[in-house]
Amino acid sequence: MNNLYFDSAATTQVRSEVIEKMQEALSQFYGNPSSTHSFGRSAKSLIERARKTIAKQLNAQPSEIIFTSGGTEADNMILRCAVRDLGVKTIITAKTEHHAVLHTAEQLEKEYGITVKFVVLDPDGTPNLEYLEHLLKQGDEKKLVSLMHVNNEIGNLLPVEEVASICKANDALFHSDTVQSIGHFEWDVQKTPIDFMTAAAHKFHGPKGVGFAYIRKDSGLKPLIFGGEQERGFRAGTEPMHNIVGLEEAFVQGYSKMTEERAYVSDLKRYFIQEFSKAFPEGVFNGASGDMEKSTYTLVNVGLPISEEKAQILLFHLDINGVACSKGSACQSGSTGASHVLSAFMSSEALKRPALRFSFSHYNTKEEIDQVIRILSDFAKS
């Protein structure tokens, strides 16, 4: 049986170059980065090299990069500290955000009595920027806008430059969950006046358990985790140096090969759209995922014209045929209800169609897409 992996939005295959760098780090640079002897200094130098590498690519300062355990921790840290330390009284977000943002905002509402407001969504699920501006002009309290650059379920692209400009014009802070964006899109934090960003290495062919937060210099945020002086005193705890080295290598590989790999993966997505449309004339692309201009090149979210009975065993059927995809975020894999992202902007009638997310990487091929379409088509006809 062929293994057809189309779930790179959940996690990606680790590059061989990354594995080699991590093995080298684990075997040769095992000193504690906080130790002052040569073993510790060697480990520390690798961490600082990684910080400088990331900062240079983003046009940031090394001090603005804080290593974390991943995107969820970074999102939590930024939102929580913004309320605690910066006097944020209102968080403006969207119901299509990742739960790392939505649940954190909900918890902060309970703990601090802040207000959480949601932007109106356009018919394709993209936040409406006119309504965002309307919300920002209401009241003079300190506000933080949290909107993701690439939606992890439907792939919609947020016009971040425009959002950043709107926030700046209204004296609001801007945080973007860029977990699906970093490693796949170029960023320049000097041209885009963004205050906070988050990343996870395993979304761009690096290891799990490591990511980073971009926190603009002199933001005023204070530590959330206390203990040692790691990460310039901002995040205590012995650094997972081998993971950080892996993150750096994945980051370097991703950006050095981005033009070539983006062209290849974009072609795969176009091919999937073409072949799916042929096989399922009544099928739909949820959100803006079928539009190459309005969505990321890395995924599609499709609605299948099959019965509710068949829909109940669809993922099982795909799995036993070697196809890995998802009905939404991997973080919701135990949920039996409809995706909170799709539910935020689709009608109850549209939600009856089973939705699947297929996400691509440079490891996929058109032949694999042919196999997936055939498996789906045979299932629909059976």
**What local confidence, expressed as pLDDT, does residue 100 receive?**
98
Q: Is the pLDDT of residue 328 over 70?
A: no
Q: How confident is the prediction for the chain on average, in pLDDT? A: 95
Contact between 235 and 281 under an 8 Å Cβ cutoff? The reply is no
Residue that the structure tokens 């961490």 belong to:
47
* Cα 146 from Cα 163, distance rounded (Å): 10
Note whether 228 and 249 are same-domain residues.
yes
**What local confidence, expressed as pLDDT, does residue 333 receive?**
46
**What local confidence, expressed as pLDDT, does residue 382 receive?**
85
Note whether 214 and 274 are same-domain residues.
no
Last residue of a domain, one of 206, 223, 256: 256
Q: Is the pLDDT of residue 329 over 70?
A: no
Note whether 271 and 312 are same-domain residues.
yes
Q: Is the pLDDT of residue 309 over 90?
A: no
**What local confidence, expressed as pLDDT, does residue 2 receive?**
73
Note whether 108 and 160 are same-domain residues.
yes
Q: Is the pLDDT of residue 157 over 50?
A: yes
Question: 236-258: per-residue pLDDT in tens?
Answer: 999 999 999 999 999 999 999 99
Contact between 347 and 286 under an 8 Å Cβ cutoff? The reply is no
* Cα 117 from Cα 90, distance rounded (Å): 7
Question: 61-108: per-residue pLDDT in tens?
Answer: 999 999 999 999 999 999 999 999 999 999 999 999 999 999 999 999
Note whether 40 and 155 are same-domain residues.
yes
Max CA pair span of the chain: 67
Note whether 126 and 272 are same-domain residues.
no
Tokens found for residue 252: 């370097």
Last residue of a domain, one of 256, 287, 303: 256
**What local confidence, expressed as pLDDT, does residue 232 receive?**
86
Assign residue 315 the CATH number of its domain: 3.90.1150.10
Cα dist from 25 to 15, 34, 237, whole Å: 16, 16, 18
Note whether 248 and 334 are same-domain residues.
no
Q: For the chain, where are the alpha helices, taking DSSP H only?
A: 16-28, 38-58, 71-86, 99-112, 129-136, 160-169, 241-256, 258-279, 308-311, 314-320, 340-343, 366-381
Question: 334-355: per-residue pLDDT in tens?
Answer: 445 689 999 999 999 999 899 9
Question: 273-297: per-residue pLDDT in tens?
Answer: 999 999 999 999 999 999 999 999 9
**What local confidence, expressed as pLDDT, does residue 334 receive?**
45
pTM for this prediction: 0.95
**SS3 for 248?**
helix
- φ/ψ of 111, rounded to 5, equals -75, -40
* Cα 213 from Cα 335, distance rounded (Å): 28
Shortest CA distance to 324 belongs to which of 366, 274, 277, 375?
375
Domains contained in the chain, number: 2
Question: 191-223: per-residue pLDDT in tens?
Answer: 999 999 999 999 999 999 999 999 999 999 999
Q: Which domain holds residue 61?
A: 16-256
Last residue of a domain, one of 203, 229, 256: 256
Note whether 280 and 372 are same-domain residues.
yes
Note whether 137 and 152 are same-domain residues.
yes
Note whether 201 and 273 are same-domain residues.
no
Compute the radius of gyration of the chain from its Cα atoms: 21
Average pLDDT of the segment spanning 113-129: 98
Assign residue 142 the CATH number of its domain: 3.40.640.10
Question: 8-57: per-residue pLDDT in tens?
Answer: 999 999 999 999 999 999 999 999 999 999 999 999 999 999 999 999 99
* Cα 368 from Cα 268, distance rounded (Å): 10
* Cα 153 from Cα 96, distance rounded (Å): 9
Note whether 272 and 128 are same-domain residues.
no
**What residues are annotated to the active site?**
331
What is the full DSSP assignment across 62-99?
GGGEEEESSHHHHHHHHHHHHHHHH---EEEE-TTS-H
Note whether 168 and 189 are same-domain residues.
yes
